[in-house]
Structure 1
């Protein structure tokens, strides 16, 4: 049976519409927010997806109207830019410093700093880095190659802590591979009395301080660490999202999402117990 020209045009129109919907579906799929994340970076990112940055990433993606796709790595988060973002396996990395030169950073989504963690009835450490020098406390749990370690050196408490610090990682050689003290270990050392205090970045340890059955306190250290005649060493940091340096459009979209989702982001930080400061940028 011969098809009329009207029927033929109707079928062609339907086919074109179907093709258009397929293309639209493809475009939507391409709009996923691909986030590089570590499986072993608790409390920020875990294989279960229950880390603080996992939660904030989902909040930001929702504010953008995008579906989130985590691109998981078995390595520590310090490798995410080099091994994931730069190789275009993902498009964003959460939790970079706002001045990280490896990436184009978004506006900060929170700011926090280094804190003292002590028992409620433990050493009286106030808000100055010099309190480490003045206190009778001798054993401090810190992470390697951080301002916390530099505070111990400036206060003259580093040498007596070397053996203890290495014991937290079973004396693994940190020169030949990336080795770091687990954040929960910093807190448990204080809670069980093996350390007098911990010096740590607040968002590293807030979850564990909050969950501790032993009453603990966090005290924010003032951002005035300038030992001797050396340059100031920052103790407070803006945290941002990193994208590739040429991805201006995505950075702008993320900035808008951060602003839109600020109440939810702030709620996630509060739930975690993270003390926050007004962002600098």
Structure 2
């Protein structure tokens, strides 16, 4: 997550950063000053037969214009459980802007894949919990499970998303300066201080598969599809939720995921909570199909 963080999360990314307590002034300024996205309003029929979902048109593997993204599929399952037809209101900007530019402007009614408790919205009860992972090549035998593992100081490059809990821990173990030039090279040396910048999740996985990096530490839902599809056998292991900075402050590695609605829309929130219970088997099947590792919510 900048979870995002938690993650780009979906955060998403900005929501996760806030939840993890890792948001930076530079990122906050970027979010505030970014130009608003454009969308065509999609009115909801009076009979409530449609669930209008705010969605990024190009944020693989979470959201794709053809509706095949992980979060698109989960939204469709929830809509079906409500007896509604899902209607995506597409944004040409990253999902981090969906609340400000779409939900708050009433162009759509639901954002999928937010961290539970995101303060910008009302969030449903969590429908799954996942976390950051270590991605390594199976042939290397690196059975990493925690940022406290001393081998992380000796491996080749460690690829992490900008602004994430993983970036915070890379700094904490004294690896950031060593890997900084490498990480910036993955975005053509574009500075995340000046604009919203993230390394493509597929690129993070590809760096490990090619051997250019020994380890990647992204949010699992962002990369599970790419890990599963890799022609080079990869290992993906949930990071233990025991990370802490040198000053003792906990750095969260796992996050409950919820849907978000506008503040004041308690009726839709209640309907979604009921639908998510009904849709749980379908959602679990989707997560299994995508290869997303999960743990019990609230753990």
Q: 1:132 to 1:47 in 2, by over 3 A?
A: farther
Question: Residue 8 of structure 1 aligns with which residue?
Answer: none
Distance 1:205 1:278 in 2: 20
Which residue of the other structure, out of 119, 134, 145, is the alignment partner of 1:101?
119
Secondary structure, counterpart of 1:121 in structure 2: helix
Question: Residue 252 of structure 2 aligns with which residue?
Answer: 234
Q: CA RMSD in A?
A: 1.5
Question: Residue 6 of structure 1 aligns with which residue?
Answer: none
Q: CA deviation at 1:245?
A: 1.3
Which consecutive unaligned segments of at least 5 residues does structure 2 have?
Answer: 1-43
Which residue of the other structure, out of 84, 108, 122, is the alignment partner of 1:66?
84
Which residue of the other structure, out of 110, 127, 144, is the alignment partner of 2:145?
127
Question: Residue 162 of structure 1 aligns with which residue?
Answer: 180
Query: How many residues matched?
Result: 256
Question: Residue 13 of structure 1 aligns with which residue?
Answer: none
Distance 1:26 1:103 in 2: 23
Distance 2:264 2:119 in 1: 13
TM score, norm. by length of structure 2: 0.83
Distance 1:69 1:227 in 2: 43
Which residue of the other structure, out of 141, 150, 169, is the alignment partner of 1:151?
169
Which residue of the other structure, out of 51, 56, 78, is the alignment partner of 2:69?
51
Report the structure number with the largest CA radius of gyration.
1
Runs of 4+ in 1 over 6 A off after TM superposition: none
Distance 1:87 1:188 in 2: 37
Secondary structure, counterpart of 2:256 in structure 1: strand
Which residue of the other structure, out of 190, 198, 204, is the alignment partner of 2:216?
198
Distance 2:156 2:171 in 1: 13
Q: Deviations over 1:50-104 (max 9, x none)?
A: 1000111110000000111100000000000000001110000000000211110
Q: CA deviation at 1:128?
A: 1.2
Q: 1:234 to 1:26 in 2, by over 3 A?
A: closer
Q: 1:246 to 1:138 in 2, by over 3 A?
A: same
Which residue of the other structure, out of 130, 133, 149, is the alignment partner of 1:112?
130
Question: Residue 91 of structure 1 aligns with which residue?
Answer: 109
Q: CA deviation at 1:230?
A: 3.7
Distance 1:253 1:215 in 2: 42
Distance 1:231 1:248 in 2: 34
Q: CA deviation at 1:124?
A: 1.9
Question: Residue 32 of structure 1 aligns with which residue?
Answer: 50
Q: Deviations over 1:175-210 (max 9, x none)?
A: 221110011001000001111110011111100000
Matched, 1:42 2:96: no
